Structures are given as C-alpha cells and as structure tokens.
C-alpha cells in the first residue's frame, strides 16, 4: 500500500517541474525508476520506440546515451515512462490519497500510521518523503510583510513574475536558473543574486562517482567525515545547457549578476521590493523568486526525536537496510538516506540503491 498526499505517484516532482517550466531531467537516460530484476523496459528503449515523436535534438540525446555519454531526457518522456511503470506494476491501484499525520508504536512489530482517513498498521513502513523547499529566514519574511500580493514566491509556487517588470531571483541552483530563464523569456530585466562568488555549472548535481559502487564505497568514515563529504557535494549548481544563454543575456544587459550577495533583508516598497545585502548593496524589483535549496524530509513530523536520532539534520539509519536505528521496521529512502548511502541517494539512481537495500531486508523476513 502506498500512501501519498495527492494520490498521484511522482505528483510532487511533476508539479514542481511544471511550475518551473523545466523541460528536461538532470538525470540521464541510464537513471530511471524501472524496477531492477523484473525485466522492466529501459527508459532509453521506451524513448526509442517513440522515435517519431522525438525532436531532432532529443534524438541526438538518445544517441549520446547510446554512446555512453551524458544525455538529457525530456520530462514528457520521463512522465510517460513513469506511467508505464506504474501501470505495469499495478502501483496506481495500490496508491491511496492520504496524509500521514504520525506513526505510533514505532518500536513494535507492526507500527501504526495515523492518517487523515484512518489508521493503518503494517509490518514494514518505508518513508519516501523526498525533500521540501528551504524557507526564507524569519527576518526576510518580516520585511516582506503580509500584503505582498503574492509578489514574492518560492520556486515551487505559482510565479509572481510580471512580464517586462524588474525581477530578482535569489539562489544559485537549477531551480533558480529556471526562474531566471523564464523571466528572460518573458522580457523582464533580471537581477540574479546569490551568495557564491560565481554560478557553478556542472552536469549532475553531485560528483558522478557517487552514482557508482566505488563512489558509494568511498563514502565512509565516521559521521563527521561523511557530513563533511555531504556538505562538499551539496553545493547548488546549474546544468551546463544554461551557460551560453546566461552569458549572452548578461552581455546584453537583460541579466545582471549579483555574486557574493548575502541577503540581509527584504523590504516592501510602493512598487515592489528592495533587497539589501550584508555588504550594503541593494536591488530593486517588482517581484522576487526564491530558490534557496531543499531540506530532506527525515520523518521529523511523523516520528519522535528519539527514533530519528538526529542532531545534525540527518537521521541515524542502519546502512545495510536503511532502517532507523531506533525502529527496526521503519525505513527511510531517498534524500533522507544521504548520510548512509552517499550524496546520490537523493537522485533517481540513488533511489534504486536505497530500494535494493530495503527490499532485501523485507524479502528476507517475509520469506
């Protein structure tokens, strides 16, 4: 049984990319949600069977993948593939639109999930809650005031961009890049403010080595060492495809970069906002788009601190099966498992590794 707030598998991800008008995945064709060991169709074969529907550029990306290079996957291909996997494995029939409020008896053999529809007990519970957006500091929120007319928005919300009017994007990751691109396309002058000294362009969001077994094996050491490796890898970056576009826009003065801009405060004005930095610079804009990164959902709203065992934002999980150290029948996969599996746990292929570890344990006990 799958409990999901919206009842749509992958719905949160698809809603987010729709808001951002993100057209392609960052993950390549090789990383896909097909189940390993069940002869599932590969995503690249799924795309090749629809050759007529692919554009010239998309076909070239398929060839790149076939040649062993990094490739870019259209979101619509990914969504159709998700749907196929869902139908093949009867996932939709097992999905119930329910909001889980808390988990009771987490130490027991059958933890109980309390949802808005009632309670469910299960021998095994797997938390696959993804990531939530990082919220702005309280001081910014005070500066924005209550009556912003929705003129400041997060990356996963409806855009407040007013075409042609000045727009400021805060953040330096891929979501920020999409906000910038959308504003440029709408003809707005854009100021892009970020804390780093420059925008970091790279293909994947973590070092590709972490997608391979040797990379995961290298992610070892005590908790502080792994935390340091995670910090080094979780640096916001942008896909290379944006680089030329942004450089051209910056030369043409439609895009103004504001590097090393640590926002000190935001204040509402008569016709928008003024954003000030710690070193005294300021930016005026009609509306603001914020993409400040994400925070993994580690089960904090469902389980007690004693179960999660987290003092640094990451749960204490057994690396072999990703169960909570203090609740052996409850597991966490995806971004929440980064400290156990490595930084790629938040990516599609990392999810596959997580699923393998969890299912191995569950199958062993059910046998």
Partner 1 sequence: MTSSGFWVNPKASDYARTQGLGRQSLRRAEEASYVLPFVDADASVESGLILLGIDIELLVAGLYVADSDSTVADCFAAVDVCRHRGSWNGVTFEEMLLEGRQKYDQVAGLVDQVVPLSGSPRQAWVKCYSAVIQNLDPEPTGSALVFLAACLFRHHQASGVEVARKSDEFDQ
Which residues on adjacent β-strands are paired with residue 207?
A: none
Distance in Å, CB of 96 to partner 1, minimum: 19
- 46 or 246: whose CB is closer to partner 1? 46
- DSSP letters of 267-290? EEETTEEEEEETTS-EEEESEEEE
The residue behind tokens 């400021």 is 168
- Residues 1, 67, 311, 366: which binds partner 1 (CB under 8 A)? 67
- Residues 15, 21, 50, 101: which binds partner 1 (CB under 8 A)? 50
Site for partner 1 in 201-220 (CB under 8 A): none
- 80 or 260: whose CB is closer to partner 1? 80
| 139 part of the interface to partner 1, by CB under 8 A | no
Cβ neighbors of 34 (< 8 A, separation 6 or more) are 40, 41, 42, 43, 81, 85
**How many residues lie near partner 1 (CB under 8 A)?**
23
Distance in Å, CB of 67 to partner 1, minimum: 6
| 68 part of the interface to partner 1, by CB under 8 A | no
Question: For residue 188, how far is the Cα from the chain centroid?
Answer: 27
| 51 part of the interface to partner 1, by CB under 8 A | yes
Q: Do 33 and 246 meet the contact criterion of CB atoms below 8 Å apart? A: no
- 21 or 63: whose CB is closer to partner 1? 63
- Residues 15, 59, 107, 284: which binds partner 1 (CB under 8 A)? 59
Work out the burial of residue 213: count CB atoms within 10 Å of its CB; fewer than 13 is exposed, 13-18 middle, 19 or more buried. exposed
The CB-side HSE value for 59 (13 A sphere, CA atoms) comes to 8
Question: For residue 321, how far is the Cα from the chain centroid?
Answer: 23
- How many C-beta atoms surround the C-beta of residue 286 within 10 A? 19
Q: Could you give the angle at the alpha carbon of 30 between the alpha carbons of 27 and 36, nearest 5°? A: 115
Distance in Å, CB of 88 to partner 1, minimum: 4
- 55 or 251: whose CB is closer to partner 1? 55
Site for partner 1 in 29-48 (CB under 8 A): 38-41, 45-46, 48
Question: For residue 85, how far is the Cα from the chain centroid?
Answer: 21
| 240 part of the interface to partner 1, by CB under 8 A | no
Using DSSP, state whether 133 is helix, strand or coil.
strand
Which residues on adjacent β-strands are paired with residue 289?
A: 153, 169
Structure tokens at 39: 């002869």
| 119 part of the interface to partner 1, by CB under 8 A | no
| 99 part of the interface to partner 1, by CB under 8 A | no
Q: Do 225 and 339 meet the contact criterion of CB atoms below 8 Å apart? A: no
- 48 or 134: whose CB is closer to partner 1? 48
Stretch of 2-10, 82-90, 269-277, 297-305 contacting partner 1, by CB under 8 A: 82-90
| 60 part of the interface to partner 1, by CB under 8 A | yes
How many residues would you count in the chain?
367
Distance in Å, CB of 87 to partner 1, minimum: 6
| 105 part of the interface to partner 1, by CB under 8 A | no
- 54 or 122: whose CB is closer to partner 1? 54
Residues lying near partner 1 in the complex (CB under 8 A) are found at 38-41, 45-46, 48-52, 56, 59-60, 62-63, 66-67, 84, 87-90
């Amino acid at each position: 049984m799958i409990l999901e707030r919206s009842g749509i598998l992958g719905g949160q991800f698809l809603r987010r990319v729709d808001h951002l008008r993100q057209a392609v995945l960052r993950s390549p064709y090789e990383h896909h949600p097909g189940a390993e060991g069940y002869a599932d169709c590969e995503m690249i074969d799924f795309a090749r069977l629809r050759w007529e529907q692919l554009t010239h550029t998309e076909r070239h990306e398929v060839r790149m993948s076939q040649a062993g290079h990094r490739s870019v996957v259209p979101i619509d291909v990914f969504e159709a593939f998700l749907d196929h996997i869902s139908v093949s494995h009867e996932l939709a029939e097992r999905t119930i639109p329910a909001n889980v409020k808390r988990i009771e008896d987490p130490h027991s053999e059958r933890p109980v999930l309390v949802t808005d529809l009632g309670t469910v007990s299960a021998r095994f519970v797997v938390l696959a809650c993804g990531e939530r957006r990082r919220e702005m500091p309280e001081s910014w929120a005070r500066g924005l005031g209550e009556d912003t007319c929705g003129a400041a928005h997060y990356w996963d919300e409806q855009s407040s961009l007013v075409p042609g009017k000045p727009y400021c994007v805060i953040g330096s990751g891929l979501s920020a890049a999409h906000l910038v691109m959308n504003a440029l396309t709408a003809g707005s002058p854009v100021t892009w403010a970020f804390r780093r000294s420059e925008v970091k362009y790279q293909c994947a969001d973590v070092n590709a080595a972490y997608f391979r077994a040797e990379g995961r094996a290298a992610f070892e050491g005590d908790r502080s060492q792994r935390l340091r490796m995670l910090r080094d890898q979780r640096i916001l970056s942008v896909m290379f495809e944006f680089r030329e576009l942004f450089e051209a826009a910056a030369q043409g003065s439609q895009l103004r970069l504001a590097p090393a801009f640590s926002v000190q405060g935001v204040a509402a004005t008569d016709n928008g906002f003024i954003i000030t930095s710690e070193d005294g610079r300021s930016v005026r804009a009609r509306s603001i788009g914020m993409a400040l990164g994400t925070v993994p959902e580690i089960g904090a709203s469902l389980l007690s601190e004693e179960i999660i065992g987290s003092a640094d934002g990451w749960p204490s999980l057994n690396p072999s099966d990703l169960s909570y150290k203090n609740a052996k029948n409850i597991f966490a996969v995806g971004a929440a498992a980064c400290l156990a599996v490595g930084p790629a746990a938040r990516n599609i292929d990392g999810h596959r590794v997580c699923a393998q570890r969890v299912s191995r344990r569950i199958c062993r006990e059910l046998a």
